[in-house]
Chain A
């Protein structure tokens, strides 16, 4: 493998792994705020204590995932310089800004108040403890925002000037922060984080109900998971997914064509639900098509023409086309499943039948890994869709990597990360599994007596 390919795999692997953790913590942060608010607002002391205990239980899971997010996140910032030095040299004057702002405006806030939230329950008043949970939530969502601003600039660069020495700098700070792409992507991504958090919480609730243990906690977790899950699943499709797709069709038409597997321009283009892209024959094998839907989704009319890949020169086609097609279809397919599952669960909740409906508790329990897959597939869609560009229309991926870091060195550290992350995965499974097995009831009153940061 050549150095460029290895640098790409290096970044792709480490970022994919990293993002398994923040998507849960950003979603959970919101749900913990809801639990803390319910505890504060509930008059009945026993019910209020149950909400407090619930939030302590989830705070511990939050802490493990937050820490893994932190330690796997540091390599991301470093890798811009280590493996993508040409990219850093030329665009640091733009994307370095949101990255630095993430550290200064989000990480300081998050780390300070997470310390207070985890360690300070007895030192702080109830309102102050609630406030520290809110500030952790705000910090983690600000962090997501600055990362999305960075990514959005790579997807759809705005507000920059090219200096005579070939590097870019910010021309308009306002345009950089209010890049429409960033806000659409942010809305879509944060909904996805709430989906992940909700599914995990609902699955733990379903587990306790199916096992007939943990008293009221199974119902609390399931109820909150289903309500938040239903709302976020709806918002995920409409308006966030819909608007993001339309904006993308306007500004990255090659990506849309490749995602949909549209090799040839078509009037009244159909949407392919399933199939296998055949790159050589420029067709989709075994296609399952819904007529005219694609034209309608993008342009609001079934008659509109959608530009296929044949409309664009080959050197602008996304380089790993079949993977892009599958990523996109996995994301959409799973998203459909989430919406259906949560709609049924929410209906049963409304009718008061959810807690005893084992036939729906089982799929809720088993579905918890799927949002992780859908989110990963969604990000792969965005990032592969951007190819062959590193910064869309400005810098090609092949021009961005470190010149003097050889393939051998890149492979050395890639293998190191593979080993390291395998160990982290095992430790994650052991600790989270143990914590769920222990359960919220058995947890000591003070959730963190045994541990330092938890």
Chain B
């Protein structure tokens, strides 16, 4: 049961990264890719009907984590207190900038919210990447299973790391490259004309950076937490995961020049899924590794909820996920195809 819930949470977080990832990525490149007012409206319209629903995956994953692994929720959320609060502020700023931008035609008003949208998107991606890296690297858990991480110490991994060290900064940078690329491919898929061409050009430039950072990050993970390799050593079949990463990156580049937008975007989805599944495989059955000499790793077995809670949860979770998949199917189907360039034509 614990194993099942571990992968359920991984599934939901992966859905969050793949879905909200593209609208965050659009935000990250927004100022560079969309230059004129019609282009900016076009870029925003491509994510308008879906970004809010994409963000729900974060909340739904958080809620699931809360009831399936209460000890992890309590320990990790209070331990990552400061960066989490900053994530909340960034989510607030990003949400209002998308919504409020259109409430005035004043160019100053729009310029302000454009910048806020892009900046908060970039910072959110950095925080999410660094957060994942923090979980992979481990935290100084105490004997009471709690910890409190400062924002930085000496920027080294080891017994007393901070939120930011060389490894987590690398994770943040990789996340920016990967999601900006993801967003660029989404824009290329959903928009037309100059915007589409520019999005594709940005994607081509980001691609080698993403490759390079991925190539650095995988060995860096082994240095930051050697135990990450345990599951790989025990089950050689999981070496397929890095192969999928490579294959998806190759497909992405190949299809970018061959005008198959959907395939490029789906390769990017596959790349993100493989990276996250790889990270989760490296962790399992640990949820939050301990560094230093005090506490023990927070494992699935120690953090899992009571059996009855989990049984009941599985019943409604399955129903709920089918419904959610149905809603997403309807929305993405109705808003399929490219966003028209003329402003009046969209949706009205």
Contacts and interface: CB of A to CB of B under 8 A. Distances in A.
B306 interface: yes
Contacts, number: 266
Contacts of B155: none
A449 B80 CA distance: 41
A106 to B, nearest CB: 9
B318 to A, nearest CB: 10
A223 B227 CA distance: 68
Contact of A81 (B58, B76, B309): B76
B243 interface: no
B95 A71 contact: yes
B312 interface: yes
Contacts of A446: 344, 347-348
Given A170-B306, A451-B99, A452-B99, A74 B348 contact: no
Q: How large is the interface on B (under 10, 10 to 19, 20 to 34, 35 or more residues)?
A: 35 or more
A75 interface: yes
A307 to B, nearest CB: 36
Contacts of A167: 70-71, 305-306
A409 B224 CA distance: 28
Nearest to A64: B99
A404 interface: yes
A105 interface: yes
Interface stretch (A96-104, A334-342, A370-378): A96-104
Contacts of B293: none
A121 B348 contact: yes
A431 B102 CA distance: 10
B312 A82 contact: no
A118 B346 CA distance: 11
Interface stretch (B49-57, B158-166, B210-218, B257-265): B49-57
Interface in A75-122: 75, 77-78, 80-83, 85-86, 88-97, 99-105, 107-109, 111-116, 118-122
Interface stretch (B28-36, B122-130, B142-150, B273-281): B142-150
A404 B148 contact: yes
B115 interface: no
Contacts of B344: 446, 449
B70 A88 contact: yes
Contacts of B91: 71, 74
A161 interface: yes
A119 B44 CA distance: 13
A103 B53 contact: no
B320 interface: yes
A72 interface: yes
A323 interface: no
Nearest to B347: A119
Contacts of A112: 53, 327-328, 330-331
B306 A67 contact: no
A88 B77 contact: yes
B100 interface: yes
Nearest to B327: A112
Interface string B22-53: 00000000000000000001001101111011
B202 interface: no
B101 A452 contact: yes
A103 B65 CA distance: 12
B67 A99 contact: yes
Interface string A397-423: 000001111100100110010001000
A419 B56 CA distance: 25
In this complex, the member of B75, B89, B103, B335 whose beta carbon has the largest number of chain A beta carbons within 10 angstroms is B103
Given A85-B77, A119-B335, A445-B348, A171 B308 contact: yes
Interface residues of A, number: 81
A225 B233 CA distance: 67
A173 B347 CA distance: 42
A77 B101 contact: no
Contacts of B48: 115, 119, 452-453
A300 B312 CA distance: 41
Contacts of A445: 348
Contact of A169 (B96, B305, B331): B305
A453 B46 CA distance: 11
A80 to B, nearest CB: 7
B222 interface: no
A450 interface: yes
A288 interface: no
Given A78-B77, A108-B324, A452 B41 contact: yes
A402 B81 contact: yes
A201 B259 CA distance: 51
Given A91-B70, A452-B102, A409 B81 contact: yes
B74 A92 contact: yes
A366 B102 CA distance: 29
A440 to B, nearest CB: 16
A170 B309 contact: yes
A273 interface: no
In the A-B complex, list the 3 residue pairs whose CB atoms are closest, starting with the nearest.
A451-B102, A92-B70, A81-B77
Given A80-B66, A404-B147, A452-B99, 18 more contacts: A63-B99, A68-B96, A70-B52, A88-B66, A89-B71, A95-B67, A96-B68, A96-B305, A99-B67, A100-B66, A104-B316, A105-B323, A108-B56, A109-B327, A112-B330, A123-B347, A406-B148, A431-B100
16 contacts: A71-B95, A77-B59, A81-B77, A92-B71, A93-B305, A100-B63, A104-B60, A104-B316, A113-B327, A115-B53, A161-B306, A416-B89, A427-B100, A446-B344, A449-B348, A452-B41
Interface of B: 41, 44-45, 47-50, 52-53, 55-56, 58-60, 62-64, 66-71, 73-79, 81-82, 84-85, 88-89, 91-93, 95-96, 98-105, 144, 146-148, 305-309, 312-313, 316-317, 320-321, 323-324, 327-328, 330-331, 334-335, 343-344, 346-348
